[in-house]
Structure 1
Amino acid sequence: MTDHPSTYSADDTFREGVQWDDRASLHIAHDGQGIFDSMKGLRRGSLAELVAQVASMPEEERRKYVIQKAGDHKLGNAEIMALAARDDFPLR
């Protein structure tokens, strides 16, 4: 999982593993997206912080949210919980 690739020299743009400190935002799962999507974020933080927040919610509650990660990747409930269960998850 990487952030946006560099357009300057394009050197060293791929990093192995999960970049837990990548920028991310928490959204309602079906908030309509659109041109104002970034303004609809409920919270911003690192990927690790938002995964920890959603993983700590009751199952019914966490299904209402998605995490949008820098690089235009949207994480649903299954992917969020898989990240929270990883051995290298930094916020246990």
Structure 2
Amino acid sequence: MSDTPSTIETSTTPSRGFGWNDTAELHRCEDGGGLFHNFKTIRRGTVAELIAFVMGLPEEKQDDYAIEKDGDHTFRIGEIRNLYRRADFPGA
């Protein structure tokens, strides 16, 4: 579940921080260029797990991947690197 409040939430409690444990999918960018290339999921896991996976790849390969946080946002390499550098990144 995302830590980002929905637009219909009535709670005034501030969000708890970034959703490192939210579920996500890893996609290869422009994989083959076919009609359904954006739907090919390489692996699933938490946002933190997939960020660590991408950052563990050789630097020249990292730009080939994107992480799609369930129902929320797609992270490209610039955002992935910024999240990896955050002080609250799990395992940092």
TM-score under structure 2 normalisation?
A: 0.76
Structure of greater relative contact order (alpha carbons < 8 Å, 6+ residues apart): 1
Unaligned ranges ≥5, structure 2: none
Q: Secondary structure at 2:25's aligned position in 1?
A: strand
CA gap of 1:4–1:61, structure 2 versus 1, over 3 A, is farther
Unaligned ranges ≥5, structure 1: none
TM-score under structure 1 normalisation?
A: 0.76
User: Alpha-carbon deviations, 1:56-92, whole Å to 9, x = none?
Assistant: 1111111100000012311000100100001000023
CA gap of 1:4–1:68, structure 2 versus 1, over 3 A, is farther
Aligned residue-pair number? 87
In our comparison, the structure showing a higher alpha carbon Rg is: 2
Sequence identity (%): 39
Q: CA RMSD for the aligned pairs?
A: 2.8
Query: Post-superposition shift, 1:29?
Result: 1.2
- The answer to whether the aligner puts 1:69 opposite 2:69 as a matched pair is yes
